[in-house]
Amino acid sequence: MMYHQMPIPSRSEHLWRYTPWSRIHPSTTDAVPDADEVVFSAVGGKTVIPRTPSMQPQGDIARAFLQAAGGSSSELSLHNESEPIHINARASGHVAVGHLHLDVKGSAVVFLHISGEPEWVGVHVTGTLHPNAHLAFGFINELDSNTKFLRCENWDIARDASLEHATLSVGGFRCKSDIRTSLNGTGSSVRQSITINADGSRHDDEHVEIHHHHGHTQSDLVMNSACGGNSHFIGTGLLTIAEGANKSDASQVFRNLLLSKKARAEAIPELEVLADDVSAAHGAASAPIDTEQLHYLMSRGLSPDEAESVIVNGFLYDAFSNITNKHLLEEMRTRLTVHLECELKR
Amino acid sequence: MTDDAQELIGDYKYGFHDPENSTIRFDKGLTEQVVRDISELKNEPEWMTDIRVKSYRHFVERVMPEWGNCSLLNMIDFENVTYFLRSSDKTEKSWDDVPDDIKNTFDRLGIPDAEQKWLGGVTAQYESEAVYHSIREDLEEQGVIFLDMDSGLKQYPEIVKKYFGTVIPHSDNKFSALNTAVWSGGSFLYIPKGVHVEMPVQAYFRINAKNMGQFERTLIIADEGSSVHYVEGCTAPSYSTDSLHSAVVELIAMDGAKIRYSTVQNWSSNVYNLVTKRAVAHRNATVEWVDGNIGSKLTMKYPSVLLKGEGAHAEVISVAYAGKGQHQDTGAKVHHLASNTTSNILSKSISKDGGRSSYRGLLQVTPKSTGCRSKVVCDALILDSDSRSDTYPTMEIGNSTSDLEHEASVSKVSSDQLFYLMSRGFSEEEAMGLIVNGFFEPFTRELPMEYAVELNKLLELEMEGSIG
């Protein structure tokens, strides 16, 4: 269905419960603005090439809106890349939209850094992992703190292919992210880590869907958020295991660390299981900083701010601990450290 | 009986039905006049008629829920339901005075026997109204009021007016509006300050007629420092057409009071069980919902607790069994509205023969409620490849001083456990039965003995033929 034909989603849908479409749309929900292009450029040898925009009808309103708004459309083909590839996505102007498709054969490490100061930016990343492909993908959101950000991702993972996906979300003032992964072949797997650090009045809504369509598939999701100030974090997950997808193994963990009295966090990790021989589990926890840990660090000479920062660092680092690709792990942790040090100095 | 109907009944031992000997039976369908007629027939005060009419109008305007099992919900034909059916002219206090056919039904269900042995009071509701009601004399002397809701309204209108609809307003959802419009029967229980009711009080709900709607309304008020355990059981005959059960249960636990509300719902598999249950717990009060869902076609029931006073505690233990053609959409909702409140939710479900069980929960901590603690655990077993299990938990945390945990797992029966038991001489079926009973054990140990035994029997019956 095209955007104008779609009804505005109701808040009874968990996906739109805390961040209704009207709050993430750049203007009024019936309008489709003329979008500027998000410019994708690869650093170090690889070239991002223009791609004909997809005209396939979309199943959900955010993707249909990004399609209708146009913007840039690019593609990157990857075959056994020896070095990590960094793609810079630069956005500016009033409304900017970009579509990026990754076609992966063999193994590759890709980082997508999004930065800039537009009022509104929307990015739709799609990825196809062919049989036996391995992709380590890092998404780093360092947008200006006044930017509204909509991010959609769709990943199709074929037989025996694997995706390691890490997100560091520290930019933008209102962010809505919707990442959907389909495990379409036997032996496929996805390992996903999301780290969110929110402060001030930042609003970050992260939705993750993982669909096990075949048996002998694996998924693992860890989402850690640390919320201070008046910030509001929402984590929603939908994990489905289709009928007959036996021997699937799925787990989801949502952890929220609340750093101030007015910070808020919501977690809805949903599970729909239609096969019997599976292992599926999810957990969610939310708590303030442990005062004993604070006391211990302060007794070693750290100021209260430094002690809190050490604990938050450790907590946010931990989200990436299930990543096995060393380039991905190193880069995500470095970016996180830089961000936290800047925060501490402020 | 047609083959289809027999197949539907299966091993459901309460599937028998008696000939209908109603004294008053309304035509099928719901209009404002039906609502007014129910109120007039019961000789109710004007304020209650007004509430009913207002609720009916809200029911008509309110759309069906857009979540849950919408396809099953939309199959409900509200025009094909009988909204009021009176089986007996009055509520009897002596079992001997209950009309024979109804008495036989409850005799077969074992109610009078249970009352003599271990209950503080009993209400038996048949179709729309209570047919039998009794309470132990010593409790009556202490000021405990245990009546069917209609008598409660007649005898204590001021208490009913003060609390009716305060926990669940008619506008809460479409089915609470329907219940408020056409409610009939249910229990009214008031425990005075400091009185501890040692033996459980029980209500038993039975639908006998075809296409019947049962809309009981229960209001339990435990005054300061009192405690009570209320037990409820439900059955219905198996027809090939559907019945509707849409109850509203309101509990109010004053400062330091404790209410435990236990349900074992074993409706036949043609009953829509759409129930709204909610409690308010004031300072240092405790509310416990112990909720067993074995029967029905579709159950949508999320017992909730509003923790309004500091130090209040909520406990919800629920089990669900979803067999062939069943969808058990159950869960729990706890709202931490005051500081230092605590809650514990344990949910267990089993899906078999294509059944679907869903846990749908909400845990909310408001920004001003500091120092709250909560733990939610959901475990699900799927016994075959046709079945399905879902969890839809929601956690809304409004401040940084609260500690909340949620964990859920879905699995099949462990082959190691089966192997171990079979190596000790059990057949595969017996071993499976033991594992399933053990899985539900945290629930059954909270039930009164008679109910726990009954539940184990029911589960054994449901589990028959689950191997091979």
The answer to whether residues B237 and B6 touch, using CB atoms and an 8 Å cutoff, is no
CB contact under 8 A, B66 and A12: yes
What's the mean pLDDT in B295-310? 93
Give B406's contacts in chain A (Cβ within 8 Å). 267, 269, 282-285
pLDDT confidence of residue B239? 58
Report CB contact under 8 Å: B66, A274: no
- Is position B123 within any domain? yes
Least confident range of A150-159, B115-124, B140-149, B369-378? B115-124
Q: Do B405 and A262 touch (CB under 8 A)?
A: no
Rounded Cα distance between B362 and B316, Å, is: 12
Task: Report chain A's mean pLDDT, rounded to a whole number.
Answer: 91
**Within-domain flag for A165:** yes
In tens, the pLDDT along A308-346 reads 889 998 999 999 988 999 999 999 999 998 888 877 665
Q: Which residues, listed in sequence order, are joined to residue A121 by a DSSP beta bridge?
A: A96, A149
Contact A261 B66 (CB under 8 A): no
- pLDDT average, residue stretch A94-104: 94
- The answer to the question of residue A186 being in a domain is yes
Mean pLDDT to the nearest integer, A300-305: 91
Instruction: With CB atoms and an 8 Å threshold, state whether B388 touches A274.
Output: yes
Strand extents, DSSP E, chain A? 36-37, 39-43, 49-50, 72-79, 85-91, 95-105, 107-116, 120-129, 134-141, 148-157, 162-169, 174-183, 189-198, 203-212, 218-227, 232-241, 249-258, 264-273, 279-288
B380 within a domain of the structure (yes/no): no
What is the predicted pLDDT for the residue at A341?
80
A23: CB partners within 8 A, 6+ apart: A174
Q: Is residue B456 part of a domain?
A: yes
A270 vs B408: CB contact, 8 Å cut-off?
no
Cα A113 vs. chain centroid, distance in angstroms? 12
* C-alpha to C-alpha distances, B353 to A190, B350, B385, B386, B387, nearest whole angstrom: 31, 10, 8, 6, 6
Where among B280, B301, B322 does a domain terminate?
B301
Residue B214 has pLDDT above 60, yes or no: yes
Question: Is residue B224 included in any domain, yes or no?
Answer: yes
CA angle B15, B19, B25 (to 5 degrees): 110
A15 DSSP 8-state letter:
G
Q: Is the pLDDT of residue B330 over 60?
A: yes
Q: Do A281 and B385 touch (CB under 8 A)?
A: no
Q: Considering CB atoms only, which of A258, A281, A286 is closest to B409? A: A281
Q: pLDDT value at position A320?
A: 92
pTM for this entry: 0.83
Element (H, E) at A306: helix A304-318
| Mean predicted confidence (pLDDT) in A230-257 | 92
pLDDT in tens, B38-56: 999 889 999 999 999 999 9
Please tell me which residue of chain A has the smallest CA distance to B361. Answer: A268
CB contact under 8 Å between A284 and B390, yes or no, is: no
Judged on CB neighbours under 10 Å (0-12, 13-18, 19+), B11 is exposed
pLDDT for B7: 43
Q: Does A282 touch chain B (CB under 8 A)?
A: yes
Asked whether the beta carbons of residue B407 and residue A256 sit closer than 8 angstroms, the reply is: no
> Are B236 and B267 a contacting pair, CB within 8 Å?
yes
For residue B467, the model assigns a pLDDT of 47
Q: Provide mean pLDDT across the span B369-377.
A: 92
B370 part of a folded domain:
no
Per-residue pLDDT reduced to its tens digit, B56-80? 999 999 998 887 788 888 888 888 8
CA triplet A297, A300, A304: central angle to 5 degrees? 45
The yes-or-no verdict on residue A3 having pLDDT over 50 is: yes
Residue B97: pLDDT band (50, 70, 90) is low
Please state, in angstroms and rounded to a whole number, the distance separating the CA atoms of residues B335 and B356. Answer: 27
B343 assigned to some structural domain: no
- Strand pairing report for B248-253 and B217-222: parallel
Question: How confident is the model over B427-447, as pLDDT tens digits?
Answer: 988 888 888 888 888 888 777
Structural domain of residue A77, as residue ranges?
Answer: 3-288
- Pick from B234, B277, B283: nearest CA to B255: B283
- Give bridge partners of residue B28 from the DSSP assignment: B82
Q: Bigger pLDDT: A261 or B454?
A: A261
Put simply, the answer to whether A263 touches B410 (Cβ < 8 Å) is no
Structure tokens at A136: 């380590």
Residue A174: predicted pLDDT: 93
Of B388, B389, B408, the CB nearest to A282: B408
- Mean pLDDT, residues A274-301 taken together: 90
Q: By the CB < 8 Å criterion, does A259 face chain B?
A: yes
Number of domains in chain A: 1
| CA-based nearest residue in chain B for residue A278 | B411
Q: Which of the listed residues B264, B286, B301 is the one where a domain comes to its end?
A: B301
Q: Looking at the predicted structure, is the pLDDT value of residue B99 above 80?
A: no
Task: Classify residue A32: in a domain, yes or no.
Answer: yes
CA A267 – CA B397 distance, rounded (Å): 9
Nearest partner of A136 among A322, A298, A282, judged by Cα = A322
Q: What is the pLDDT of residue B10?
A: 47
Q: Is the pLDDT of residue B3 over 70?
A: no
* Segment A164-191, tens digit of pLDDT: 999 999 888 899 999 999 999 999 999 9
Name residue A120's amino acid: W
CB contact under 8 A, B392 and A259: no
Nearest CA in chain B to A17: B394
> Which residues contact residue A81 at a Cβ distance below 8 angstroms, ignoring those fewer than 6 apart?
A46, A106, A107, A108, A109
pLDDT of residue B98: 66
Lowest-confidence region among A256-270, B109-123, B292-306, B409-423: B109-123
State the smallest CA–CA distance between residue B30 and chain A in angstroms: 28
Q: Tell me: the pLDDT tens digits for A251-270? A: 999 999 999 888 889 988 88
Do A175 and A201 meet the contact criterion of CB atoms below 8 Å apart? no
Mean pLDDT of B182-207: 86
pLDDT of residue B308 exceeding 50:
yes
Interface size between A and B, measured as CB pairs under 8 A: 126
Q: pLDDT at position B468, please?
A: 35
Q: Is residue B421 part of a domain?
A: yes
The predicted structure's pLDDT at residue B4: 44
Structure-model confidence comparison of residues B98 and A185, the more confident one: A185
Question: Does B133 have pLDDT greater than 70?
Answer: no
- pLDDT category, B261, cuts 50, 70, 90? very high
Indicate whether A339 belongs to any domain.
no
Is residue B131 assigned to a domain? yes
Residue with tokens 């869903």: B358
- Could you tell me if A247 lies within 8 Å of chain B, comparing CB atoms? no
Interface test with A, best of B339, B357, B400, B402 (most A CBs within 10 A): B400
Number of domains in chain B: 2
At A340, give phi and psi (nearest 5°).
Answer: -70, -35
Q: Does the pLDDT at position B108 exceed 80?
A: no
Name every residue whose Cβ is closer than 8 Å to that of residue A342 and which is 6 or more positions away in sequence: none
Question: Containing domain of residue B163, as a range?
Answer: 3-301
Which residues in B have their CB inside 8 Å of a CB on A?
Answer: 65-67, 367, 380, 382-412
More confident residue, B37 or B114: B37
Q: Which of A3-17, B280-294, B399-413, B428-442 has the highest mean pLDDT?
A: B280-294
- Looking at residue B88, its pLDDT comes to 64
Q: Hunting for tokens 């021997």 — which residue is that?
A: A247
Which range, of B204-208, B313-317, B324-328, B419-423, averages the lowest pLDDT?
A: B204-208
| DSSP structure string for B275-338 | EEEEEEE-TT-EEEEEEEE---SEEEE--EEEE-STT-EEEEEEEEEE-TT-EEEE--EEEE-S
Closest Cα in chain A, distance from residue B351 (Å): 9
Which residues, in sequence order, are CB contacts of A56 under 8 Å at separation 6+? none
**B286 and B411 in contact (C-beta within 8 Å)?**
no
Chain B contacts of A14, Cβ < 8 Å? 392, 394
